[in-house]
């Protein structure tokens, strides 16, 4: 009788522990999914802000708005991005600070943006990023010619 009670109690404890572990795993996966979704949003906003800056050409109002959007994106990026994304973003900002409103090397800009996208992909989905890198894909970006 006492042994049956111990076996029953152990069974209940095992079920409770399994349930708790399952909840912990599910919560961890949910948190990872939410973080990845937010990172994707912020990374997309950063690329959108860079595109706005490229498309603004000589329109000072559009340039100012694009700079503001870029600043907001970079500030959010500082909170969530991986070290690789942050390094690529620093390279991008250095490049933009050096060349904004002047003639610039479009190839260098594309190389920086490629590095940024590669690092973002590594952060969001390392397995898929590795496959894309192994395929030696170059990402293309539109940048109108500067006058």
pLDDT of 65 over the 90 cut: yes
Structural domain contains residue 68: yes
Per-position b or e across 93-128, b if 16+ CB within 10 A of its CB: eebbeeeeeeeeeeeebeebbbbbbbbbbbbbeeee
What is the predicted pLDDT for the residue at 147? 54
Q: How many domains does the chain have?
A: 1
Rounded average pLDDT over 77-105: 87
pLDDT tens profile 3-53: 778 878 888 888 889 999 999 999 999 999 999 999 999 999 999 998 888
Q: What is the pLDDT of residue 146?
A: 56
Provide the pLDDT for residue 9. Answer: 82
| pTM for the model | 0.77
Q: Is residue 144 part of a domain?
A: no
The dihedral of CA 95, 96, 97, 98: what is its sign?
A: positive
pLDDT averaged over every residue in the chain? 87
Q: What is the pLDDT of residue 141?
A: 77
Structural domain that includes position 66: 37-134
Q: Please tell me the predicted confidence (pLDDT) of residue 29.
A: 93
Looking at the domain assignment, is residue 63 inside a domain? yes
Tell whether 18 is covered by a domain.
no
Return the DSSP state at 145. P
Identify whether 30 is part of a domain.
no
For the chain, percent of residues with pLDDT exceeding 90: 49
Tens digit of pLDDT for each residue in 123-144?
Answer: 998 888 888 888 888 887 766 6
Task: Please report whether residue 72 resides in a domain.
Answer: yes
- Provide the CB-side half-sphere exposure for 84 (13 A, CA): 13
Model confidence at 86, pLDDT cuts 50, 70, 90, reads very high
Indicate whether 84 belongs to any domain. Answer: yes
pLDDT at 85 over 90: yes
- Residue 60 is assigned to a structural domain of this protein: yes
């Amino acid at each position: 009788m006492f042994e049956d009670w111990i076996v029953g109690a152990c069974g209940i404890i095992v079920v409770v522990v399994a349930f708790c572990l399952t909840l912990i795993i599910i919560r961890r996966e949910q948190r990872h999914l939410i973080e990845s979704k937010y990172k994707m949003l912020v990374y997309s906003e950063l690329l959108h802000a860079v595109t706005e800056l490229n498309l603004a050409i000589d329109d000072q109002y559009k340039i100012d708005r694009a700079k503001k959007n870029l600043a907001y994106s970079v500030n959010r990026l500082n909170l969530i991005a991986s070290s690789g994304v942050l390094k690529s973003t620093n390279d991008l900002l250095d490049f933009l600070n050096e060349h904004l409103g002047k003639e610039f090397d479009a190839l260098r800009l594309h190389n920086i943006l490629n590095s940024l996208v590669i690092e973002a992909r590594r952060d969001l989905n390392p397995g898929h990023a590795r496959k894309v890198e192994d395929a030696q894909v170059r990402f293309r970006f539109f940048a109108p010619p500067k006058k």
